[in-house]
Amino acid sequence: MKTLVIAIGGNSLITNAQHMSVPDQYAAVVKTVHHITDLLEQRHRIVITHGNGPQVGFILLRSEHSRGILHQVPLDSIVADTQGALGYQIQQALENEFHRRGLKKSAVTVVTQTLVNRDDAAFASPGKPIGEFYTREQAEDRMRVEKWTMMEDAGRGWRRVVASPIPVRIIESEVVRHLVKHGYVVIAAGGGGIPVVADEKGILRGVAAVIDKDLASAVLAKEIGADMLVISTAVEKVCLNFGTPGQRALDSMTVAEAKRYMAEGHFKPGSMLPKIEACVQFVTNSGHEALITCPEALPAALDGHTGTRLVP
């Protein structure tokens, strides 16, 4: 029996721009958890992590439209909100799937904090755009009143940018480990976790930042002693020269090969690159393997029939 940390991507929550409502998101989750439950029937222990980028954007937009009527919601609280809402959907879909299959399993969502270094260089130069586009005048007002950092974005307008610091530790990792050991399917580290920093006495406080969910998943997987990090995404295999006539799918790659491919620019930032970086980090730190594939291929990929494996 292996312990798997499965990081589900945006396609597992929002399939396309025409299906972004909450019921649409739940329908997408139902399809994904069907494949994950297949792995439970193979007697694997499972922790599920997930992204939250679009959902954070939706809350920011609602907050913007209610400006002057309601208070602004801090970004760390928005991450917590999305952890609860998306965790609820995943948890309910899992429980229903368990019921249909007659599985004696229970799912639980852990609202998760992720410790980052308060001296992380990302805080000095925020570069992760979030939320909607603003005119220059609106941006100047937000920078003056809200103290936001904002940047012009490729001629499309101005956007708020926040830090994306490196995850150091998952605060609730021991809780997750305990729950998994006792047979629960755990949903944790949603959206990369709520970013927090600690003062000299170890007292935590939330910060306005976003954490890459794949990197946070790698940290969580290492901390709970997982046997494999599985990143579920939109493609069945990782490809070199993606989208070109020379595209080539990879069955496996070593850490050294992955680093070379990254240096050669095969993987796009904000797309496949952070997934490869997370897998390299997990494999390097744990000595175990990582796997990248799409939701519907998960059972076959775990059996070695498809997907891309990263090996030491």
What's the full length of the chain, in residues? 312
Sign of the torsion angle spanned by Cα atoms 108, 172, 48, 164: positive
Confirm whether 285 is a catalytic residue: no
SS3 sequence of 231-268: EECCCCCCEECCCCCCCEECCEEEHHHHHHHHHCCCCC
Selecting among 11, 57, 105, 157, the annotated active-site residue is 11
- Our answer to whether residue 259 is catalytic in this structure is no
* Burial of 216 (C-beta count, 10 Å sphere; 0-12/13-18/19+): buried
Catalytic residue at 128? yes
Separation in Å, CA 98 to CA 41, 102, 294: 10, 6, 21
Distance CA 19, CA 11 (A): 11
Strands 194-198, 113-116: pairing is: parallel
- 132: number of Cβ within 10 Å: 14
Averaged pLDDT in 10-residue chunks for the chain of 312 residues: 91 80 92 94 95 90 86 93 97 98 97 97 91 87 88 86 96 98 97 97 96 97 98 94 91 97 91 95 97 94 96 96
Structure tokens at 89: 């959907």
Whole-number pLDDT of residue 156: 85
Among 51, 52, 128, 131, which one carries the catalytic annotation? 128
Predicted pLDDT at 11: 64
Q: What burial class does residue 67 get, using C-beta atoms within 10 Å of its C-beta: 0-12 exposed, 13-18 middle, 19+ buried?
A: exposed
pLDDT reported for residue 80: 97
pLDDT per residue over 251-267, tens digit each? Answer: 999 999 999 999 999 99
Cα 208 to Cα 163: distance, rounded to the nearest angstrom:
7
pLDDT for the residue 147:
86
Nearest to 14 by CA among 69, 67, 73, 89: 89
Alpha carbon 191 to its chain's center = 5
* pLDDT value of residue 153: 80
Strand residues in the chain grouped as ranges (E) = 3-8, 45-50, 107-109, 113-116, 128-134, 149-152, 158-162, 167-170, 185-187, 194-198, 204-206, 228-232, 239-240, 248-249, 252-254, 289-293, 308-311
Q: If you average pLDDT over every residue of the chain, what do you get?
A: 93
What structural domains does the chain harbor?
3-273+284-295+302-311 (3.40.1160.10)
pLDDT of residue 154: 75
The pLDDT value given to residue 63: 85
What pLDDT does residue 18 have?
83
Q: Of residues 10, 57, 157, 206, which has the active-site annotation?
A: 10
Catalytic residue status for 275: yes
Give helix 273-286 / helix 213-223 axis angle, nearest 10°: 10
117 is known as an active-site residue: no
